[in-house]
Structure 1
Amino acid sequence: MPTRMTFPDLDNLYAVFWWIRVPQLFSTCVAFSLVANMGIERGAIGNWSMSIWCLCFVVTLVISMVELCRCQTLFPFYWYNFPITYACYAALVCFSASVIYSITYVQFLPDNPYRDRAIAATAFSCIASVFYAIEVAGIWSWYDLDDITCYVHTLPGLLKVLETFVAGVIFAFLSNTSLYLHQPALEWCVAVYSICFILAALAMLLRLNEWESWLPMPFLIFQLVQILLPVLLYISALVLWPLYQFMEEFGGEPHWSSDVSCIYGLSYDMCTWGQRLAVAILTAINLLLLITDMVYWAYKFL
């Protein structure tokens, strides 16, 4: 059995996982290039997926260069926290891009070379997500966590990653402003998603950079307040969003067939009714994550 690495072995860790980043770079680059070569045929979902793969490629390349040149000490925070946190997000976003791109775009393409490229891009996106997941799992399995502090190795850290990720997917659907601009109650829901995302990101930054001492109150109290407010806000969004999107009395569309864009099956995007349903489901998922987070901190407080 291999021995667990300790703090002095950081350079060995970087050397081992740099070789995992080579297939990460290759997979994201190929996925990006295949969709970019489709021109206007890639559609809105293709543009979104392409931006995901391009961003992952750039950030992975920067991390690889920093570690290869041993420039970690130039950053004003403990470097280890950044690549492992990024790997968690990259695994999630590449996997989500693979799923969304395939079910909302690829399946509607006719049998032609563009469809073959889209399928290949989806496959390479899946491969990238697997290698990012291997990086996360590998560090967790091999590293002696008693010697370092890493926020995403804790339950609240993982919950924050998932909360911000789900919120990011919600924002992707909300890029279609026709979903909510016609109704103040729905605009309130968008404000809820934004406020809660900012609070979660703030909590993550404080822990990742170990800035808890800057707070005017104990960090545990801050966490309880910071998580209680989003829970209450998300409850209001979980009530208002389905109410004004799917109830005829409030101007909503209760049935999928009432949406013209769903009836004709647009090739390059989800229909509007499907986007509304997706936001409602994601709201419920994020509320469950927030409640789990709140229970954890309440237990710690007691």
Structure 2
Amino acid sequence: MGLKGFAEGGIASIVAGCSTHPLDLIKVRMQLQGESGPVQTNLRPALAFQTSTTVTAAPPLRVGVIGVGSRLIREEGMRALFSGVSATVLRQTLYSTTRMGLYDILKGKWTDPETKTMPLSKKLGAGFIAGAIGAAVGNPADVAMVRMQADGRLPLDQRRNYKSVLDAITQMIRREGVTSLWRGSSLTINRAMLVTSSQLASYDSVKETILEKRWLEDGLGTHVLASFAAGFVASVASNPVDVIKTRVMNMKVEAGVAPPYKGAVDCALKTVKAEGIMALYKGFVPTVSRQAPFTVVLFVTLEQVRKLFKDFDF
């Protein structure tokens, strides 16, 4: 109990985050597909339509996971798969360490001492609380990570070219004010509450069921199965919020120019109106492809770290 839960959760989260970073990057790129914006006026008529003030590009062709990944490598190189990895490390250090540690504390307090069990409602409640606090702490790194991952898709003259997560945070404060570090924080918090409650509660519940039914022993097989199930549940629950969060965080805000979105609700409405309701599930395949292995690596690593730390008390 105490700091041990934070240390265990933090180590496992950083390992999982770095391991699945390329999949997370591809997910972000897919979620930004379909956003419209001004383009140069020398486009051929077949590719654009004229309005009274601007020329707007026709919606781009949808590209799948393999297409986005291969194009990213072809145009930006293999190193681009780890764009923003420093932000991922900082995000996991702040966000996941906090949420995992708090969930562990609440789980200890709310578990029935006689039956050694915790009702699903309390598991979900612990996840909501831990996720919300963790997201508020980690939002600056989340904004920096989204921007660094999305930078390569912009024209050369529009790229932010952050050198590191600290450079990104410094530039955001200087150019957009300190409040820009918490842009989209309401979405980050909502997403984190959904992910943490569904992910951690699902893992605990599936693991308990497997052990109670004696389908498997408490070992690697049980941890992998419970993790995979938790990752899928978390993906389904969080993807719509994740799409809106990505777009709000990535939008450019310039003095004297109206931002693309007024907020989360406006972004959701514009996205659905322009691209259909299923746009909220853009990037779902890479979300599952990333969330499932992330959750597996997270909990398998967590179980091993717990074994290493079992004789320590801090």
Q: TM-score, normalised by structure 2?
A: 0.29
- Name the structure, 1 or 2, with higher relative contact order (CA <8 Å, separation 6+): 2
> How does the TM-score come out when normalised to structure 1?
0.30
